[in-house]
Structure formats: structure tokens, C-alpha cells
Amino acid sequence: MSEQFVQVAVPVPMRQLFTYQVPIAMQTPAIHIGERVAVSFGARQVIAIVMAVDSAIETTTTLDIKKIKSISNRLNDSFHLSHSLVGFLTLCADYYHHPIGDVFQQALPKLLRQVKKLDIKPPMVWHNTEVNLEEKSVLKSIETKAPKQFSLYQLINKHQGISWAELRTLGYSKAQLNVLATKGLIAEEAQEACQFSWREQDLAQENKQCLSTEQAIIVAAINQSLAQYSCHLIDGITGSGKTEVYLQTMEQVLANDQQVLVIVPEIGLTPQTLLRFEQRFNVPICLHHSNLNDTERLNTWLSAQQNSAAIVIGTRSAIFSPLHQLGMIIVDEEHDSSLKQQDSFRYHGRDIAILRAKQLNIPIILGSATPSFETLQNASSGKYQYHQLRQRAGNSSKAKIALIDVAKQQMEFGLSGMLKHEIKQTLARGEQVLVFLNRRGYAPAINCQECHWLCECQRCDKPYTFHQKQQLLICHHCGSQKRVPKQCPSCGSVRIAPVGQGTEQLEQRISEIFPETSVVRIDRDSTRKKGELSKLLQEISDKKHQLLIGTQMLAKGHHFPDVTLVAVLDGDGALFSFDFRASEQMAQLLIQVAGRAGRASKPGKVLVQTAYPDHPLLQDLVHNGYQHFATQALVERKQALLPPFSFQALLRAEANYPSYPEKFLRSLTEQAFANCQFAGPVPAAMEKKAGKFRYHLILQAKSRRELHIAILQLLSKIADNEWQSKVRWSLDIDPIDLSW
């Protein structure tokens, strides 16, 4: 046998491939692109992905062949990546100018990144058992005395082979499972790997809704383009039935024995999405999100690879799932900033989903009530097929938005007199109220009432947030914690008090104003425990709580039919921001929150408390809606040559000394690039975070091609920069958050 060499992607922060020799003993069977191999890199053994196989490496490299290392081991398992997925990940690495080894690392489940041999056991799933006469009487008793256990039994009975990950996501507990198992009604067994194949009985016709004319036109248009690439934007007001359109377009894809990938921006949307899909389709559904453990994520990856998963529902990283029979991609809430990864490999889930759909020549659906300006511009220019849903489904009507001028109101605990009156009336009718405040914790700061000392995080130069339940001061930027001081360190006074209001304080105060009412708070603090979010959402649906307090976790996607009043307490956060996207993001959040009201037959109302009721942005949103606001804002963006009418890259740099990142970035601006402009370097909005001083530099061009040519030149320049070893720097293509 002749000498053989491979080029592999190694998980290190270097934008290149590395060459290794394949020992003769390892050349059989033939080595393939996409295969996982173990290699030594420095003092470590790491998993690398084979990118090229070459038997004549001496003609293509200047390396001394005698110095080329050999691969340590071929894993010879079935976890290799397909040519299609390797090509897709390579495109992603090229577009975002990110180290290719790190891109492949992030696309693999954690267990497949480890060199040690895996002990793969088939996933355990739940089935119902044959019920005898005695067990039938037990089942009847459960139906009357334990309705939650009975609904769990019915779900398992309908979906034979449902996993614990799915059941947990839907809000069921291990205790409920164990009770049913102890009584012999259900049993757990290993799942056999078998390819998905559609059957007529897999569709639950009784849950299928009659489409409106608008919905039917969209479904027909998408069904006509199933065998080719097409991007469809469904711009539908909240409650207009976008999910029903998704479900009915998926029918034909699944009937063709193809797979569907559904991407949602946050884990909070997964339970209700999963429930809708479980009710409609009796097919294998797998989940992919950060609340799953490593084994569960590997099981999803394997189910996708073996074509046994018909539908994969997940957050942004689900786009890397190895679905070999993928027939359609759906991105729900495509405008959501959670789809953008904000560290390491800074990809946008929506953008690379479109890239993958184009690569596989399949349709992709983007859905939103408030589409991003980039997507709207692509739709209006004809790049995407543009569909609108302007009517709410069923008998529900669009909620009316009204502004409350806080300057003219008597305030109590952040609530105006008018708002308290409206809440009282709504509760008296037996309806639910959602109070929105996008600030968790008890108070955003504490200070001394005597000398006005403010307790700030020394590593971030930002106030600590006070969390009363834990009696801790927590920095929401770097995560540092400290006890609340008993005395002011500046003047010795004991008059230390919270400043401002967070959801924790609002929950306490609102319970005092409405003592007879059950109040529930949903934010990142109250939903830390596994399954807690699903449990609270189910309690809201069951009307166990009348007053709902929440952050943006409650703002999007959720369906609460009995919520008829939505109150936004602080609607002024982004009216005067330095970030040109702030007004777009604020408008999206406001419309999404407003969409939680009046989703059933009862009319809804939205009240926004503001100190600037005459602000043009608020007036435009209230009187003309998001569509008109977006059209006007796009005209302004075009005049200012801002995205989507130009293209940006953001270079970030941080160091222990404030002069280092500025000098590093300034040295990069000394070279001019054709048709490109620099903005900066300037300090980040929060200059100091976690003890590091941070600066950023924006590179902008009129065309994407010119921007990427300039970036390649910049990267080659950075390699020789005298300051690059003294700073930590990163590159963000198409940034959406300049606040950093």
C-alpha cells in the first residue's frame, strides 16, 4: 500500500486544516470524508473530522513528510458526517470566517467530541400495556381522582414509544410516570432503530382545522414548490394561525417519507410546539435544546442520522442535525434575536437554515408577526415569496393598544391608577391579566439613602441587581454575587434601600394590591428547575393563576385564551438608544407582547405605560401597526445606508488594560479597503465587564462580496499585528447586537 495522508479539521482556534498520515494498518477499510478520527495535537488527544484524503500529499504541501504525525486511531463507528453536512459546515465556516475545527465541534453532540469509546445503549421509551379487568377499574379511578396521570396515560397510549425527554418537556413528572408503571398500566423498554415510514393513520384528522382563505392560499403555494428550493415568509399577525399552516404543509412532506426540521428561538416555546405536533402527527418526534442531557442529545442526533426521527424540534443549533431525508425547514419567530449565537461561533440560525435549504434544494418557511427588516427587504425585493395573514383565526379579534401617560397618573408600585382600575375590572370578569416587565430580580440596584452611594460590581462598573428571595446582590453581566451590606461602606448609614423595580418586587407588590388573586411570576429565576416552565404554563392554561407577571419569556408564541388584558409597565427602554436596531427590537417586543391578549373569542386590550406618549415611534405603532412602522423605518435605513442596505462586520477586542484593545483595533484601520468604511474603534456600551476593558470596530460595505474580501485582508493583517497577542479578539459577521 502507498502512503496516505488526510487533512482534518481540529477543534482549535486556527483557521486552517491540518495534515496527518494514515498508517498502513489503518488504511483498510477505505477512509472517508466526514469520518471521525483521533489525533494528537500538542499534548492532547482530540477528535478531528476528515476533510480530504490524498495519497500524493508531497505535491500539495511544503511540509517535511517525515515530520507529519500519524493519526492515533480510526474510530470506525457509524457516527461519520455525510458529504452534504460536511459541505454545509464548510460553507458556514467560510461565511463567518470562523475556525473550521470549532464549527465542526459545535455541530457534534458533546459525547461525540470525546476520544473515549462510547457505550451506546438504545434509548428507553414508554408504551402502554394490555389492560385486564382489574387494571381497567384502576384506570377509571385515576380518571376521576388524578386527571394529570390519566392525561399522561392517554398521551402514551396515543404515542407508543414516547421518550422521557418529550414527556418532561410537556410538563409531566417522573413521579406520575412511576405511579402508572407501578400499577402496571405502562412499561419502559428499549427503542428499536427503524426508518420512519408514513402511514395514513399517523395523521389525526380530528385535530385538523378548516383553513381560512388566506391560509389555504399559502398552503397551496408552498405545496407547489416542495421539490425545489424556495423561501416563504409568512407575515401573520399574532393569533392568525401560522402554526396551522406549518402543520398542513408538513403533511405532504411526511407523506413522502421525508423529515421536517422545526427551529424555535427559545426553549420556552418548545412545550407548546411539541404539544401541537403530537396532537396532529403520530410520528417519531425528537427534541434538541440545552435542557436535554448529553445522552438525550446524542439520541436525537442518532435518530436524525438513522432517519428514524420524522420531525426534529429544536433551538438554533438543531440546524446542524444530520437529517439525510430532510424535506422542509421551518423557522418560527424568525425575527427573534435568540436565533443569533452571541459567543464563539457567531452564526444566525435563520440565515444558515436558508443556506442549508438552498444546498439541499428544499423549501424553507419563515414565520413571524413582526418580521425582521432584513427578511422584509428580501421579501419585498422578490428573493422570498411573501405571504400575509391579516385575520386572526376563529372568532378572536386583534387587541387594541392604548398608551398611558405616567406623568398624568398617580403611581403605586409602578402601576398607574388607570391600569389598576383596568386590572380590577378584568379580574372581576374572571379573565386573566399579563403584566410585562422585562427586568428580573427584586430591584436593579440598591443605594444609600444618606449619601446616595450605589452598590456597583467592581468588575463591570454596573450596579448589582438585588434578589430578595436569595438575599443576594447578583451582577447580571458577569454573574458575580455578594451579600447585601448592613451598612453603607461610604458613610456608615444603615439606610440602604432598593432602587427601581424588577419582576420579583412587582410580584410582591401586586399581591398586596390584589390579595384575593393568585399571582405567578415567569422569568429566568422562577423557571430554573427542570420542567418548572412547562408546569407553570400548564397551570396558567388551567386558570390556576389570574395575574401573570413575566419578562420576554412570556412575550412570544404562547397561547393563553383567557388573557384579555396585557399591561406593559416600562415601554420606554429603547426610545433613545445608540443602537440603530433598538427601535426595531422594541417594536417587535411590544407587538409580540400585545399579541398575547384576546386570542380566543373574548376581546383583548393592551395598555402601555410610558413617559413619552407623543413619541413618533409609539404613535406610529399604536395607530398604524408594525407593517407601516417597518416600511417607514426601512426608508430611513436606506437613506442612512444601514443594514439591510449595507453589510457589516463587528470586530471586538478586550484586555486587562484599556489602551490595549483600542491600539489593536486602531492599527487595523491604518489600511484602507476598497468600498469599505470603518466606524471606530470606540468603547463598548459597557466598557468594562468581568474585569476586561472592551472596544469594538465596525467594518461596513455596500456589497457582501466587498465586505468579505476586506475581512480576508484584515485577518491576514491581524496575524502580524504586534498587539494581537495582548488582546482577546473576535469577529462577528452580520452583528445584530452592538451593545455587547
Residue 586: which residues within 8 A CB-CB, separation 6 or more? 571, 573, 574, 575, 617
Domain ranges of the chain: 4-113, 124-190, 201-389, 400-440+502-638, 445-499, 647-733
**63 pLDDT exceeds 70?**
no
Distances (CA, A) of 645 to 90, 364, 378, 731: 27, 23, 11, 21
The per-residue pLDDT for range 579-604, each reduced to its tens digit, is 888 888 888 888 888 877 766 667 78
Residue 28: which residues within 8 A CB-CB, separation 6 or more? none
Three-state DSSP state, 62: coil
**57 pLDDT exceeds 60?**
no
Residue 95 confidence (pLDDT): 96
| 435-451: average pLDDT | 85
Q: What is the CATH number of domain 4-113?
A: 3.40.1440.60
3-state secondary structure 541-562: HCCCCCEEEECHHHCCCCCCCC
Residue 598 confidence (pLDDT): 67
Weakest-pLDDT range from 517-526, 572-581, 703-712: 572-581
Residue 231 confidence (pLDDT): 96
Query: What is the sign of the dihedral through the CA atoms of 94, 97, 102 and 105?
Result: negative
The per-residue pLDDT for range 381-412, each reduced to its tens digit, is 999 999 998 887 665 667 788 898 888 888 88
Residue 59 confidence (pLDDT): 44
Three-state DSSP state, 488: coil
Q: How confident is the model at residue 724 (pLDDT cuts 50, 70, 90)?
A: confident
Q: What is the mean pLDDT of the chain?
A: 86
Residue 61 confidence (pLDDT): 53
8 Å CB contact between 687 and 624: no
8 Å CB contact between 258 and 390: no
Q: Please give the class, per CATH, of domain 647-733.
A: alpha beta
Predicted TM-score of the model (pTM) = 0.89
**718 pLDDT exceeds 70?**
yes
Rounded Cα–Cα distance for residues 656 and 202 (Å) = 59
Q: What would the grid cell of residue 136 be?
A: 381497567
Residue 56 confidence (pLDDT): 56
Q: How confident is the model at residue 544 (pLDDT cuts 50, 70, 90)?
A: confident
Tell me which residue of 315, 312, 322 sits closest to 163, measured CA to CA: 312
Q: Which residue has the cell 390556576?
A: 544
At residue 44, what is the residue type?
R
Three-state DSSP state, 176: helix
Q: Which helix (H) or strand (E) holds 521?
A: strand 519-522
| 646-656: average pLDDT | 93
Q: Do domains 201-389 and 400-440+502-638 have the same CATH topology?
A: yes
The per-residue pLDDT for range 135-190, each reduced to its tens digit, is 677 778 887 888 888 888 888 888 888 888 888 888 788 888 888 888 888 888 88
Using CB atoms within 10 Å of the CB of residue 328, give its burial: 0 to 12 exposed, 13 to 18 middle, 19+ buried.
buried
Residue 600 confidence (pLDDT): 61
In CATH, what is the architecture of 400-440+502-638? 3-Layer(aba) Sandwich (3.40)
Q: What are phi and psi of 135, to 5 degrees?
A: -70, -25
Interior CA angle at 50 toward 305 and 39, to 5°? Answer: 110
Q: Cβ–Cβ contacts within 10 Å for residue 132, how many?
A: 10
The per-residue pLDDT for range 475-500, each reduced to its tens digit, is 988 888 889 888 888 888 888 888 88
| 645-651: average pLDDT | 94
**132 pLDDT exceeds 60?**
yes
Rounded Cα–Cα distance for residues 19 and 32 (Å) = 15
Q: How confident is the model at residue 223 (pLDDT cuts 50, 70, 90)?
A: very high
The CATH topology of domain 201-389 is Rossmann fold (3.40.50)
Residue 330: which residues within 8 A CB-CB, separation 6 or more? 246, 250, 260, 261, 262, 263, 364, 365, 367
Q: Examine residue 271 and say whether the peptide bond preceding it is cis (omega within 30 degrees of 0).
A: no
Q: How confident is the model at residue 278 (pLDDT cuts 50, 70, 90)?
A: confident
